Structure 1
Amino acid sequence: MTPYRAPGWLPGGQAQTLWPLLIKPKAIPLRRERWETPDGDFIDVDHLDGPPESPLLVLFHGLEGSARSHYAISTARACRRMGWRLALPHFRGCSGELNRRPRAYHSGDSAEIDWILRRLHQDNTGRRLHAAGISLGGNALLKWAGEQQQAAASLVSGVAGICAPLDLAACGHQLARGFNRIYTRHFLDTLKSRSAARLARFPGLFDETRMRRSRNLWDFDDAVTGPVHGFAGADDYWARSSAIAWLKTIAVPALVVNPRNDPFLPASALPGPNDISPCVRLEQPATGGHVGFVSGAFPGNLDWLPQRLLHFFTSELS
């Protein structure tokens, strides 16, 4: 498949990141299913149904994303055209309703990825199952694949991580600089609101004053994400949850796409050939932004990313 290249009328990583929000296609109807988790919580999984014998693509969303994110909508539309089934699991609290337990979700939540994939595999009764993750979801999925090594092949045909923040420290500090702080403010608006609601349900879960004073992701992760999920703080969370350390042990076909102009992750932090296993294919186009991948004549479309995923899972697995 043709490597990604941004159209000439859309220059720069910031524009390539933000433009998809303006041309997001219309969502198609999905069937929602609520799953009870082993610890007494729930997640909501949105399904695009199709022929029972067709492949199933599982798509894990990014930070504060959902089935309404532009990449989820464009992937659902592409799957419908191909006659594939699609499952869009929502991480806890991201489907529009606060979850029941104190915990939420985080970039290294490979245990949740494992539970979801095992449940889908069981329901899929031997048919092809492919897994992809966008941004945070991509990091968690790639970490899972590295941890599972050969065992991952019993559940999935392969994995794909798109714009995954493979080095969480590099990503977190990058988002605290310059124009990138607009993304941080967007994330913190919803993270703080949801965290406040969780704190009202579980008093003393974390330091409310520190949470409300957070001005960047390090502040928030040090006050909330880290302590709530068993980490010593932001630095410990970022170090233990970064997928880059697990790329060498992935033993299923893996596609890892990271544009070099992604505002979220500096090109200097991207992995090279010595950082990966022979099963991993790195694609690091010069353009694309953060989950942008706009293509075509003005005003453009969002077809390239779902086409890349479907091509990988249909033509490039070995």
Structure 2
Amino acid sequence: MHEFHQCDIRSDMLVLGVGRGSTRWGARALISLLAALIFFVPCSTRLVCLGCFLVSHRCESISSCAFLTPSSGLVSFQRPALVCSEAFSAFLFKHCPVVAERFSPTPWCWGGRLQTLVCAALKSRPPVSYRNELIRTVDGGQISLDWVDNQASVTYPESSTRPTVLILPGITGNSQQSYVLHAVSQATRHGYRCVVFNNRGLGGEELLTPVTYCAANTSDLECVVQHVKGLYPTAPVLGAGVSLGGMVLLNYLARKHTESGLVAGITISVPWDAHKSSDSMEEPLNWLLFNRHITRCLHRAVTRHRKILEKVVDVDYVLKARTIREFDERYTSLIFGYNSCMDYYRDASPGKKLPSTAVPILCLNAADDPFSPQTAFPVSVVQDLPNVALVLTSHGGHIAFLQGFFPLGESYMERLFGQFVHAVFEHQEEMKRACGIKEEQMKD
């Protein structure tokens, strides 16, 4: 039997209401105005605007929160909803106790937008020293991998058997993102090896072919997994994908089924439906705070590799894109042979592909993530699967999940990541039994 496993909240508490109270929409209008002022007014008045923004955002968050719950009350400071089979939930409660704890977001940082912005601005950056490696692909391109070999590991002194965490960053991210550095820190602390798969063109390397990356294409990930397994055939490998990296990972696991070469996967803040994510990101405030910035980052990547990319696309036209969707229409869908951006988004969305996966997978999402609307969460799909678990929080934003009054240390997602990675590598057989996976089903 598969069902919601929860402590204080039910599945219907994560369904966004459709109320249109004047207080809620008035707060949103005020937030939009203040956000615009923060960007466009003189520096001398920005501090006042920012203070008003925080207050109004707090009001809007409290108002919105009411629509996340039934009549029983607010969801704030509740334990996350855990959607998975009974056996998988028992495994997680035993080896990942953080899933049973109350998630208390930073009190002055409620709301997904503010969580996301504050995390990007204030998050600490653990020191990490990488060893870079460039590998070639079958089409003549190259991929930049950043390794932390962890030769000083006491738990796994033999490199041949040392477990490996393969990390896939987000849409314009690389091995230097704070969330990647924290993931590496968590994994190496347990004695594991890490390798960060930088998407083509984002790891400091030159593009050798006019091909970059997209959420639906998994050929580069397959190349990386084969390379890692070739170097360490007997060492287990876990895939960890963040945002777009999570989409790539899930699409890969669904495509390869029992032949993925991975023992498990974990994703953070995955956009489950690319269409709905684009709609959310094109809301005025989300465009102002996030979409515009990411589009500019995509522009910079194209500009850096303009000489080779202009062979296949009209670079000047691409650089006029004002949103991620326009960029995907003018660039991504063309590069990867889709008839339209709609076709690309349909192929990239991983939610309905989960039944084709064959390894244990843990997915963390927040209901207030502006990049991944909760209406797209694949709850009904996961309820029928023995190997997939959704951990859903009411707050947390996008790749944030900040806790504590001064949210500079470990966040909820980092604690969950560390505990799950440890559980996977140290209790593999128990995990397989919990997820109904037989040994003969798995092929390296």
TM range (shorter): over 0.9
**Pairing partner for 2:416 from 301, 305, 308:** 308
Question: What's the CA shift string for 1:67-111, capped at 9, x where partnerless?
Answer: 111110111122232221111010101112331111101111222
**Pairing partner for 2:272 from 159, 166, 170:** 166
Q: Distance in 2 between matches of 1:202 and 1:142?
A: 28
Q: Secondary structure at the match of 1:289?
A: coil
Structure 1: runs of 5+ lacking an equivalent: none
* C-alpha contact 1:249 1:277 (8 A) present in aligned 2: no
- Indicate the residue corresponding to 1:175 in structure 2: 281
- Indicate the residue corresponding to 1:147 in structure 2: 255
Normalised by the length of structure 2, the TM-score is 0.68
Determine if the alignment matches structure 1 residue 246 to structure 2 residue 353.
Answer: yes
Q: Distance in 1 between matches of 2:295 and 2:269?
A: 20
- How many Å apart are 1:176 and its aligned residue? 1.1
**Pairing partner for 2:110 from 11, 33, 36:** 11
* C-alpha contact 1:16 1:294 (8 A) present in aligned 2: yes
* C-alpha contact 1:164 1:258 (8 A) present in aligned 2: yes
Q: Distance in 2 between matches of 1:84 and 1:294?
A: 25
- How many Å apart are 1:37 and its aligned residue? 1.7
* C-alpha contact 1:223 1:233 (8 A) present in aligned 2: no
Alpha-carbon distance change, 208 to 44 in structure 1, aligned in 2, over 3 angstroms: closer
Q: Which moved more, 1:84-93 or 1:189-198?
A: 189-198
Q: Distance in 2 between matches of 1:221 and 1:305?
A: 29
Normalised by the length of structure 1, the TM-score is 0.93
Q: Distance in 2 between matches of 1:17 and 1:104?
A: 26
**Pairing partner for 2:173 from 65, 88, 96:** 65
- How many Å apart are 1:226 and its aligned residue? 0.4
Give runs of ≥4 in structure 1 deviating > 6 Å: none
Q: Distance in 1 between matches of 2:392 and 2:126?
A: 29
Structure 2: runs of 5+ lacking an equivalent: 1-96, 151-156, 425-430, 433-444
Q: Distance in 1 between matches of 2:408 and 2:423?
A: 26
Question: What's the CA shift string for 1:100-127, capped at 9, x where partnerless?
Answer: 1111011112222111111111212211
- How many Å apart are 1:209 and its aligned residue? 4.2
**Pairing partner for 1:45 from 142, 145, 148:** 145
Q: Which moved more, 1:160-169 or 1:48-57?
A: 48-57
Residue pairs, 1:1-318, within 5 angstroms: 1-3=97-99, 4-21=103-120, 22-50=122-150, 51=157, 52=159, 53-152=161-260, 155-181=261-287, 182-275=289-382, 277-315=385-423, 317-318=431-432
Q: Distance in 2 between matches of 1:171 and 1:287?
A: 17
Q: Secondary structure at the match of 1:64?
A: coil
* C-alpha contact 1:108 1:241 (8 A) present in aligned 2: yes
Alpha-carbon distance change, 197 to 313 in structure 1, aligned in 2, over 3 angstroms: closer
Q: Secondary structure at the match of 2:406?
A: coil
- How many Å apart are 1:249 and its aligned residue? 1.5
Identical-pair percentage: 24
Q: Distance in 2 between matches of 1:42 and 1:63?
A: 18
Q: Distance in 2 between matches of 1:288 and 1:121?
A: 34
Alpha-carbon distance change, 85 to 306 in structure 1, aligned in 2, over 3 angstroms: farther
Alpha-carbon distance change, 202 to 151 in structure 1, aligned in 2, over 3 angstroms: closer
The structure number with the bigger radius of gyration is: 2
- How many Å apart are 1:201 and its aligned residue? 2.5
- How many Å apart are 1:303 and its aligned residue? 4.2
Task: State the number of aligned residues.
Answer: 316
